[in-house]
């Protein structure tokens, strides 16, 4: 099998806006309505579990709350929940993001840390630290939602939801929104989920057997052999190949 030819064809086939619809839902479906990095991050961070349930939950959120006082946010979201997250966890995220936006942007915090070594993990760590500093809230659900700061790659979580958010923000095509400039597509790391992990192993793109950040980096390096400037153009294709059980 010519894997590059397969992936190039699949990437071209999937790069149409109609690829994401109510029959084939994806969290980016909600993010596209607003084309706002803050709302997109909320969509990405809750992107775990059954995709239809993810989109249903995101559709239920009132994103105008991001402009309200803390008490209004807490009152409006107190009875909400999504899997590991309680109303208090969801409120904490909204409040932290609202407070950040008063003086900075997600992009400026990310870019400042990323620019030093052109390392997207540094940028993500900076955002996690910043959001935690703006609103102190400790719970299992909230820690899972934001993720922990990554000091290693082996045995560490793959940061899949953060990497997917960056793909949405940096790449600009019929799927991704390209809202951020000044970040090189070549520096992005694959948003590794179970579908892309399993398909990549079957196609011989990934040798590592452990599902972690190191595996996401290894897969990215392999895909750079196919396209050094934009390895993540294959992400959505790999995801759909697994999701639709084509491979």
pTM: 0.97
Give the whole-angstrom CA distance, residue 102 versus residue 170: 23
Q: How many CB atoms lie within 10 A of CB 191?
A: 25
Q: Is the dihedral of CA 109, 113, 116, 119 positive or negative?
A: negative
In whole angstroms, what is the distance from residue 147 CA to residue 83 CA?
Answer: 15
pLDDT digit string (tens) for the chain, length 247 residues? 799 999 999 999 999 999 888 888 899 999 999 999 999 999 999 999 999 999 999 999 999 999 999 999 999 999 999 999 999 999 999 999 999 999 999 999 999 999 999 999 999 999 999 999 999 999 999 999 999 999 999 999 999 999 999 999 999 999 999 999 999 999 999 999 988 999 999 999 999 999 999 999 999 999 999 999 999 999 989 988 988 888 8
How far is the C-alpha of 26 from the C-alpha of 20, rounded, in Å? 6
Number of domains in the chain: 1
Q: Is 172 left (phi over 0), alpha (psi -120 to 50) or beta?
A: beta
Spatial contact of 227 and 234, defined as CB atoms under 8 Å apart: yes
CB hemisphere CA count around 99 (13 angstroms) = 16
Name the residue range of residue 34's domain. Answer: 3-243
Instruction: Kindly tell me the burial class for residue 19, based on how many C-beta atoms sit within 10 Å of its own C-beta (0-12, 13-18, 19 or more).
Output: middle
Tell me if 203 sits within 8 A of 3, measured CB to CB.
Answer: yes
């Amino acid at each position: 099998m010519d894997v590059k030819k397969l992936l190039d064809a699949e990437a071209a086939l999937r790069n149409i806006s109609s690829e994401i619809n109510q029959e084939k839902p994806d969290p980016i479906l909600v993010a596209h309505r607003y084309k706002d990095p803050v709302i997109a991050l909320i969509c990405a961070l809750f992107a775990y579990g059954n995709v239809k349930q993810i989109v249903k939950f995101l559709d239920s959120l009132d994103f105008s709350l991001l402009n309200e006082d803390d008490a209004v946010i807490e009152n409006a979201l107190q009875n909400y929940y999504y899997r590991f997250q309680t109303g208090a966890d969801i409120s904490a995220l909204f409040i932290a993001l609202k407070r950040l936006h008063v003086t900075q942007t997600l992009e400026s915090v990310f870019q400042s840390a990323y620019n030093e070594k052109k390392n997207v993990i540094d940028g993500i760590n900076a955002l996690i630290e910043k959001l935690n500093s703006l609103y102190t809230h400790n719970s299992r659900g909230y820690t899972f939602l934001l993720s922990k700061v990554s000091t290693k790659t082996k045995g560490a979580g793959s940061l899949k939801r953060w990497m997917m958010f960056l793909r949405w923000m940096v790449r600009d095509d019929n799927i991704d929104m390209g809202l951020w400039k000044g970040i090189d597509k070549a520096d992005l790391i694959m948003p590794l989920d179970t579908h892309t992990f399993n398909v990549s192993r079957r196609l011989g793109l990934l040798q590592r057997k452990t599902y972690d950040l190191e595996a996401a980096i290894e897969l990215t390096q392999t895909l750079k052999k196919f396209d050094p400037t934009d390895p993540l153009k294959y992400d959505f294709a790999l995801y759909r190949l697994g999701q639709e059980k084509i491979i």
